[in-house]
Amino acid sequence: MPSSDSTLISGNGSGDLSPVGDMSTSEHEMKVLKDSSVHLLQNIFENAEDVASDEAVGRTKSMPAPKSESVHSARFLRRSSTEKRRRGMNTDNVNVRVTPEFNKLSDRRKKKLLRKLATIKKDGVVEFDVGDSSQAAKDLFGYGFSPVGDAKYENDDDGQDEKTTQEEYLNNFKSVPPLRIVMLIVGTRGDVQPFIAIGRKLQEHGHRVRLASHKNFEGFVKSGGLEFYPLGGDPVVLAGYMVKNKGFLPSNPAEIPVQRQQIKSIVHSLLPACTQPDLASGIPFQAQAIIANPPAYGHVHVAEFLKIPLHIFFTMPWTPTSAFPHPLSRVKQPAGYRMSYQIVDTMIWLGIRGIINSYRKKKLKLRPITYFSGSHGSIAEMPTGYIWSPHLVPKPRDWGSSVDVVGFCFLNLATDYKPPEDLVNWLKAGSPPIYIGFGSLPVEDPEGMTKIIVEALNKTGQRGIIGKGWGGIGNLPETPENIFLLSDCPHDWLFPQCAGVIHHGGAGTTSAGLKAACPTTIIPFFGDQPFWGDRVHEKGVGPAPIPVNHLTLERLVNAIEKMLDPVVKQAALDLSKAMENEDGVEGAVNAFHKHIRHRIPQTVSSREFHRPSRRYSYRRALFKWTTSCLQVY
């Protein structure tokens, strides 16, 4: 019997979300939804019960803690602290309107109306329509938004966030003692790379840093000088899944078991990554702070269990804003931009709630989270740092003080890189080439893609470097003189020698190209890549993005010709110059220190504070606690 999770997010053959047990929806009920849907998506269901079954937990409804004569077990099955924070939710700029009729609707009916409000399309994005005017948005969501062009960013004059003064920086650093920090990072090599740079800088400030990620990246992480711990999940499988579904949301029912197994493996590996000794040396480790990216999924719940602070860093926008829509949504009307974040967050939660609630209840001994509680891991109330240049995407004005745009984080791999002699000779033999590569992403038709690339380079008279990566492109029986096939090379060494770059639009590759003043064409596969393609085009440093499924010879030829335009090259030079004084790594570390100094963590987990037995030794406990406080490494 399928779980409620898989049923809820499965496709119906047309690519749309198909509600189970379809019932006709009256006009009156739809009006009720329009008047009150903001409450549905902004956490008002404190007592909502989940009527659907859940394969992992059995039930995920809000329920009282079971009676127990054991003080120890009763304490552990405690109310979620995220639910407690929810009651103090900041509702600035939101006029919530709750109608009595909406409260009378059953939870099953509310869920059905939500599925009618938003659908998951074939390309894996969430689509919904808010109407053609701001008034329609108010009727639908209960509040309105500013038009796109109405001063949506902070410091529009220079595109920069307010800089932290040297005095503030020193105060932030001095007030933070050395900590044991674990970084929980899920994704591709490009997702891991900026966190290696951040981790190294944190080590320079005296912290012990463990980077936990997929086993495939162990050598990469250790080569950066960081302690490594393996997380579950296979980045090759994850990348293949996300390419097929264009993001985190499955549009094909056949992909649901793949997604669930990968997520379950990741979630169950998070707590050991925070608490287990180093696998190589056996040195004990107990995390005092967590840095994570949202695809880790269970980081919020592990931090709650360990009672330690959590800081989110990510390369794509995840915090609600009226400036632009969620990268995984398709919203044409500016009125719906902010709401798109709540809807995508809720849709993702529908697919993982069984896994998360089972983990909370069985492993962490925390209360399961209710269906519409909204306390399922949203980052709205957590310190969050975004790893991109404020010159490319300035911080929106409706992001509060808990959100920082720190700048791109570069690892500077070129310093120790020794290029092969044949590559050096090939570069010297002709004009600067066009780079084409898609990193670790799988390509559905690598032979067809390679053929298009080769023909486009020939038609435009350009030399080209094809990065082979994991996608299988570049397998040629004979390599033409104007093409060089490259297996691996640091972008910060290669891109400054290129006339332009064509890639998938990962944040790391995009940043490396822009820093090198390269005109850029983005061929997005999924996730935040279309977002970066749009930003590059808006800045005038490249043509409009070409979705990988829409790539043709003609479009690629036009894109290359656009990149060779002197106007585009000058725009790339101007943006590179504006970015040259940014230090995203230092900005990320300072943001971490700034926020954590107000939340200095406990040095041991709550599990070490059980009610003492008759044989309990207060002297031994005091010694253990003192040792833990003093132990940095």
Q: Sort strands 434-437 and 464-467 into parallel, antiparallel or unpaired.
A: parallel
CA distance 290 to 100: 42
One domain, residues 318 and 437: no
One domain, residues 339 and 444: no
Q: What is the pLDDT of residues 110-135, one digit of tens each?
A: 566 666 666 666 655 677 666 543 44
Domain boundaries, position 183: 174-405
**What average pLDDT does the segment 591-604 reach?**
76
Q: Which residues of 255-293 are buried (b: 16+ CB within 10 A; e: fewer)?
A: bbebbbebbbbbbbbbbbbbbeeeeeeeeebbbbbbbbb
Other C-beta atoms lying within 10 Å of the C-beta of residue 587: 24
Q: What's the pLDDT at 480?
A: 92
Q: DSSP string of 410-436?
A: ---GGGG----HHHHHHHHTSSPPEEE
Measured CA angle at 309 (ends 304, 310), to 5 deg: 85
Domain membership of residue 127 (yes or no) is: no
**What average pLDDT does the segment 131-155 reach?**
44
One domain, residues 399 and 481: no
Q: What is the pLDDT of residues 372-393, one digit of tens each?
A: 554 444 455 789 999 999 999 9
Domain membership of residue 528 (yes or no) is: yes
**What average pLDDT does the segment 190-206 reach?**
96
**What average pLDDT does the segment 471-498 reach?**
89
Q: What's the pLDDT at 118?
A: 66
**Tokens representing 272?**
């050991």
Q: What's the pLDDT at 237?
A: 78
One domain, residues 522 and 388: no
Q: What is the CATH number of the domain that holds 220?
A: 3.40.50.2000
**Tokens representing 324?**
């632009």
Please identify which residue in the block is written with the tokens 């990510």: 314
Last residue in a domain, options 370, 405, 440 = 405
Comparing CA positions, the residue from 359, 351, 374, 381 lying closest to residue 62 is 374
Q: What is the pLDDT of residues 472-481, one digit of tens each?
A: 787 888 899 9
Last residue in a domain, options 559, 579, 599 = 579
One domain, residues 433 and 571: yes
pLDDT: which is higher, 8 or 235? 235
One domain, residues 264 and 384: yes
Indicate the pTM of the whole model. Answer: 0.74
Last residue in a domain, options 549, 579, 609 = 579
Q: How many CA atoms lie within 13 A of 298 on its CB side?
A: 30
One domain, residues 387 and 430: no
One domain, residues 327 and 180: yes
One domain, residues 443 and 545: yes
Domain count along the chain: 2
Tell me the pLDDT of the chain averaged across its residues.
75
Most confident of 91-105, 152-166, 512-526: 512-526
**What average pLDDT does the segment 289-304 reach?**
95
